[in-house]
Amino acid sequence: MRQTLVMGNWKLNGSKAMVSELIGALKAPAAAHPTVSVAICPPVLFLDQAQQLLADSAIALGAQDADLHSSGAFTGENSAVMYQEFGVRYVLVGHSERRTLHQEDDATVAAKFAAIQAANLVPVLCIGETLAQFEANETQAVVERQLAAVIESNGINALAKAVIAYEPVWAIGTGKTATPEIAQTVHSQIRQFLAKQDADIAAKVQILYGGSVNGASAAGLFAMADIDGALVGGAALKADEFAAIISAGA
């Protein structure tokens, strides 16, 4: 049985005051639903503060990106090895904002995925199609290409220690959530694609849905057989909304 995972991606948002307020407000709802795994991905500057605030909590920490190198002359970057010191468990990789705004291609995503696993952290591999690709019925081909790029360089076994997040680009930050049926169709295609290479890994891997998930839409999504949780952006910044998503997963 796959555990539901609710992960907040704070993106480029936060301040010291906001971090302590939001974490303070999330501890009780997370503790009230111990069957749901909860994680938050604040900006790296706040990982130290978040780690301290979460010392007595089961809420896990994630980072939003990692460089593909562990150290060196790479100005402005942060590495998965560094995250180990901050109690980080998950690292997002291949988020559509990184793919588009930072020109990260499939090969870069695959290399970052490897660097995250080499540091014994769990990559959360984000995949998903643009609106034009969705309208051209290319969703399945796009997500399979994005998955194949990671599998070709890291092997199918790498997916045994990873999480997948299906995030249709047209649903991110737009208020347009994919319907549970649309999301379920793609999640099932993802699982079937993986099952062709390893049925056990396909059955066990958590596949999160992301794209304008909120307290009202979460339950319908989580009721679907192949949706194992959510990667939440905007609604993760509001304690009440994020708490409602956590309780929808219980």
Interacting residue ranges for ligand PGA, rule: CB under 6 A: 9, 167, 172-173, 210-213, 231-235
Catalytic center residues: 95, 167
Nearest position to ligand PGA, beta carbon: 233
Distant-in-sequence, close-in-space partners of 30: CB < 8 Å, separation ≥ 6: 36, 38, 57, 58, 59, 246
State the Cα–Cα distance between residues 153 and 113, nearest whole angstrom. Answer: 10
DSSP 8-state code for residue 227: -
Rounded least distance, CB 89 to ligand PGA, Å: 17
CA dihedral 61, 63, 69, 72 (to 10 degrees): -90
Structure tokens at 104: 């990260």
Nearer to ligand PGA, 40 or 201 (CB): 40
Nearest 5 degrees, angle CA 197-CA 225-CA 189?
A: 40
DSSP 8-state code for residue 94: S
State the Cα–Cα distance between residues 166 and 134, nearest whole angstrom. Answer: 13
Nearer to ligand PGA, 30 or 230 (CB): 230
Nearer to ligand PGA, 81 or 231 (CB): 231
Rounded least distance, CB 132 to ligand PGA, Å: 18
Rounded least distance, CB 69 to ligand PGA, Å: 25
Nearer to ligand PGA, 11 or 33 (CB): 11
